[in-house]
Amino acid sequence: MSKLIILIGLPASGKSTLARKIVTRYHQCQLISTDAIRAELFGDEAIQGPWLRVWQQVQQQFYQAVRQKSLAIYDATNVQRRQRRQVIDLAKESGFTHLTGLWLDKSLELCLTRNQQRQRQVPEEVIMKMYRQLTDAPPSCEEGLDILKRITK
């Protein structure tokens, strides 16, 4: 059984921190991170670059994780319903048999404050737009997830 955890949340909501904790605890876990992919492809995780190149790497890493029969975590914001559906479709196509969404539903104020304290800051207007997208279309199991856990603390 190949399991994928899909992280969902605003920048600075704690997704990458949670992903690192899970990987530390479960050494067989494969972390698939769009930030790490950008750093590898473009030399810096802050460089957005062409999304198609990033997505192709995500696809390859999904298939690799399924072949290795490892637990995998997909670390990206996934704030748009359309994005989540694409990830869920790819996960199923790749062979993942169990999909868990972890929604880090932190307050906008907390994320903005944490973002201000980061070295690599996301522009506030981008976070505001993502907040509206997530609020307008929150994640649900109807999108194709087997389990959705909402983490508020």
Note down pLDDT in tens along the chain; length 153 residues. 799 999 999 999 999 999 999 999 988 899 999 999 999 988 877 777 888 899 999 999 999 999 988 799 999 999 999 999 999 999 999 999 999 999 999 999 999 999 999 988 999 999 999 999 999 999 999 999 999 999 997
- The pLDDT score that the predictor gives to residue 31 is 96
- The pLDDT score that the predictor gives to residue 120 is 85
Q: Which two tokens stand for residue 53?
A: 């190149």
- The pLDDT score that the predictor gives to residue 2 is 92
- The pLDDT score that the predictor gives to residue 104 is 98
Cα distance between residue 126 and residue 149, in whole Å? 25
- The pLDDT score that the predictor gives to residue 49 is 81
* Structural domains in the chain (count): 1
**What separation in angstroms does the CA of 34 have from each of 84, 97, 113?**
14, 22, 23
Contact between 53 and 34 under an 8 Å Cβ cutoff? The reply is no
Task: Find the domain containing 25 and state its range.
Answer: 3-151
CATH number at residue 72: 3.40.50.300
- Collect all residues with Cβ–Cβ distance below 8 Å to 110 and sequence separation of at least 6: 12, 13
- The pLDDT score that the predictor gives to residue 54 is 92
| Overall size of the chain counted in residues | 153
**What separation in angstroms does the CA of 153 have from each of 14, 41, 105, 140?**
10, 34, 8, 19
Helix (H) or strand (E) holding 127: helix 124-136
- The pLDDT score that the predictor gives to residue 99 is 98
pTM recorded for the entire structure: 0.93
